[in-house]
Amino acid sequence: MSLPIDRPTADDSAIHMADVRRKRPTPRRAVAVGEIALGDAYDTVVQRRLPKGDALLMAEIAGIQGAKLAPQLMPLCHPLPLDLVRVRCVPVAERAAIRVYCEVATEARTGVEMEALAGVNGALLTIYDLTKPVQPALTLGAIRLLFKEGGKRGLWLHPEGIDEAERAHYRPRGLARLDGVACAVITLSDRAHAGSYTDAAGPLLVDALSALGGAVAAVEILPDGIEPLATRLRALAGEGIGLILCTGGTGLGSRDLTPAALAAVATRSVPGIGELFRSESRHHTPLAWLSCAGAVMIEQSLVIALPGSPKAVAEGMAILAPILAHALAMTANADHPRGPHA
């Protein structure tokens, strides 16, 4: 059972860590970058001839330590078990500078941007410390987050961009897209079908599919029940719709009949999708285990049934989006696209 979430009150401290207890642990990665301009000391540093020793080697070690110590430097930064910290020092001869990169990765409820930035700063300051005896006029600059991956927002790239060499080395990965995939969205709700309730979950699915490049060919609202949905699913599959997302009718009520409709028309069950949804949704609510969300195939069409709650739909798409393109490639007997963390 999840712990209750304490809400801030007027008597609470104005300073507190972000509450991430209801967030899902997801793979996270961040890469930060920064430079130190060395001036006349550039050749000495690159040739590793400084009096104190090899500044570039020490910078790599210091960058790793800096990333690990980020929560001690920034009190509101969550302490995270880091799965990877990797520091690179790249000489830039035309600017007589060293460009430092710090890559950090883990699986957690919050990102590792601050760890990557702390790693860059630790590495740059170490180069400064070892170089200042021979050249005190050093300049640190251009420190920024290059990109981050993971969480509900997926891939974020700095507006200043990322050059081709950086892209080739780090291969930032967003969600595999659904370009060209014919999709349909069906809302199951007696109230919405009767016009007494405005459907909010269906439009969320349309937006999510469109953001991934899917071509939404049909958006419908049907009453709860087996036959109306089963009939429509057969028709959509016959029209070559590759992905059909249903919302509603996956609870334990007498009118929650969506799973029965899917079972009536399925040519194959896809149990792992429902298992994944429930397993990951438990981080948001312990009631996830009561959901009958699931998936089937009708010939080569993939049908996924999600709950009717807009919140559950948004969370469900965040959970399932990383595997949709791969699943659809499998149903079409096509080459499998590389996933976001392959």
Extract the runs of DSSP E, i.e. beta strands, from 62-213.
Answer: 84-92, 97-108, 139-149, 156-157, 182-188
Q: CA dist 214 to 235, 316, 338, Å?
A: 19, 17, 17
Q: Which structure tokens are listed for 85?
A: 């910290």
Q: Which structure tokens are listed for 42?
A: 């550039």
Question: 84 and 104 in contact (C-beta within 8 Å)?
Answer: yes
12, 19, 43, 129: the catalytic one is 129
Query: Taking CA 30 as the corner, what is the angle to CA 26 and CA 36, rounded to the nearest 5 degrees?
Result: 165
Q: CA dist 160 to 24, 96, 147, 169, Å?
A: 30, 22, 10, 18
Q: Which structure tokens are listed for 142?
A: 């251009």
Q: Which of 33, 339, 27 is nearest to 165 (CA)?
A: 33
Chain centre distance of CA 179: 19
Neighbours of 337 (CB within 10 A): 14
β-pairing verdict for 243-247 and 139-149: unpaired
Cα gap 268→246, rounded to integer Å: 17
Question: 6 and 18 in contact (C-beta within 8 Å)?
Answer: no
Q: Which of 290, 283, 205, 279 is nearest to 251 (CA)?
A: 290
Q: Is 129 a catalytic residue?
A: yes
Cα gap 293→277, rounded to integer Å: 8
Query: Which residue numbers are catalytic?
Result: 129
